[in-house]
Chains A and B, each alone.
Chain A
Amino acid sequence: MRYAMAIDTKKCVGCSDCVVACQTENNVPIGYCRDWVVEVTDGTYPQLELEIRSERCNHCSNAPCVRCCPTGASHYAEGGIVLVTANKCIGCGACIASCPYDARFPHPDGHVDKCTYCNHRLLEGLKPACVSVCPTKCMYFGDLDDPNSEVSRIIKKRKWKTLIPEAGTSPELYFLI
């Protein structure tokens, strides 16, 4: 099993519902966020292109954060989800420095925190909170190893990109373009 998420940049309107849903579902401390929305404007007026992306941890299959963790707190869970075991984390910050997406942050309790793809919801057969609330239904989540999953089919059908592929992290967060 290989969990992945695909986000349609043509359908995303940047409403930030995904951000609020994540903060509520995961009890993210006030002032912090595990996902965020980026707006990229490219070109020179009047030839401008706009891309809106809902970003989060890329759950890389070659994750530098897992590699550099001195205690094994950062690890791959079932389906390749990158998680942090709070009571193994010493809060050294190495994983934070190693993430090219700046997707991790130090939780006020001391351990490192990040997107979990709502692992607790997946275990109950639910989709991640951000995916389930998206009003434009621009997010697709599922098992990439299953050719019939929603995410496999949309990735086969549409053009996509990943962020900073040159960093060699093999991200599992796809942006449909």
Chain B
Amino acid sequence: MREEIIVSGRMNHLIDPYLQIWHWPIPFYLFVGGLAAGILFFAALMTIRGKEEQYTAATRYAPFIVPFLLVLGLGALFIDLNHKPYFWRLYTTLRLESPMSWGAWTLMVVTPLSIIWCAINIRYIFPKWQWPYEWLKNLDAFFVKHKMTIAWVMIISSTILGIYTGILFSAFNARPLWNTSILGPLFLASGLSAGAAVIAFMGKTHLEKTTFAKIDLLIIGIELFLIIHLFMGFLASSQVQIEAASLFLGGEYTAPFWIFVVFLGMVVPAILDFLELRGYPIPTVLPMILVLFGSITFRFIIAFAGQASRYLY
């Protein structure tokens, strides 16, 4: 038996008895970042494939949510900072070794891109839209002319944003639950799935709804595959990671993770997508709500459980 106690007393705020430095703003920020990445990815993908006319929700309408999502996410990130007056320091340094720095700069690229994308598609929302100044008209014409280039930059930057939402956690080897490279692709898949579900809901045509239901189904399959690999990796790893996995395999996060994230957030929407593709009249709002609920719950659970997992010495 081994017992370890701090005899001098240590109750540092947000550190003891267990780490709670990251509250709701960080998982919320990662959720909206992932969802924004998912929507922009499909907007860029369908544009690059020349399917703009068939998939109007993906390329023209859904991207209008993205700037709002990113502003909400950045607002949450700002709320989370303890030393707010120095926020600007993020943008006076580029540190390649720091995932937080990568994230800040990626958002610096993705946010203006999403606004440009909305600007060049605004006439599809408001047909009578006219830019007020000549230079704005010229700028709009310039961006429309280079739409394909913007789409390529957007598909790459949105992929980085989607992966980054997981890498932010996985770069910390001090927290055994987070310290797995699977989190990057898993959070990317979760963001893409959320994006696909929103687009399927917003889809104007049967083709668009069924295509994105298929895409969502495929991505949910990939997510389940990655979750199995996540736990296989943990259970085949060192003691600290076995104990981290036990938080989900009998520990305090078992029920919320398997019921809310895996069952309600992945298995049920996958069944609904499948039934929809088989012709059953399933309202697309249902899988969307469930996927979004699963996606946000997933990030909250990983954020909190990761802080509860630690090295023992």
Q: Which chain A residues have a beta carbon within 8 Å of chain B's beta carbons?
A: 14, 16, 19, 31-33, 36-44, 52, 64, 67-73, 86-94, 96-100, 102, 104-106, 109-112, 163-164, 166-168
Contacts and interface: CB of A to CB of B under 8 A. Distances in A.
Contact of B174 (A19, A111, A167): A167
Interface in B168-208: 171-175
A71 B83 CA distance: 12
Contact of B99 (A43, A68, A89, A168): A68
B80 A102 contact: no
B234 to A, nearest CB: 16
A70 B82 contact: no
Contacts of A36: 6, 8-10
B3 interface: yes
Chain B, interface residues (CB within 8 Å), range: 35 or more
A97 B100 contact: no
A163 B313 CA distance: 7
Contacts of B22: 93, 97
B84 A100 contact: no
A67 B82 contact: no
B147 interface: no
A67 B98 CA distance: 6
A84 B236 CA distance: 37
B310 A100 contact: yes
Given A96-B15, A112-B82, 8 more contacts: A14-B8, A38-B4, A72-B95, A90-B90, A91-B84, A94-B98, A97-B172, A106-B21
Interface in B5-63: 5-16, 19, 21-22
Residue of B12, B14, B89, B173 with highest tally of chain A CB at under 10 A: B12
Residue of B8, B16, B98, B104 with highest tally of chain A CB at under 10 A: B8
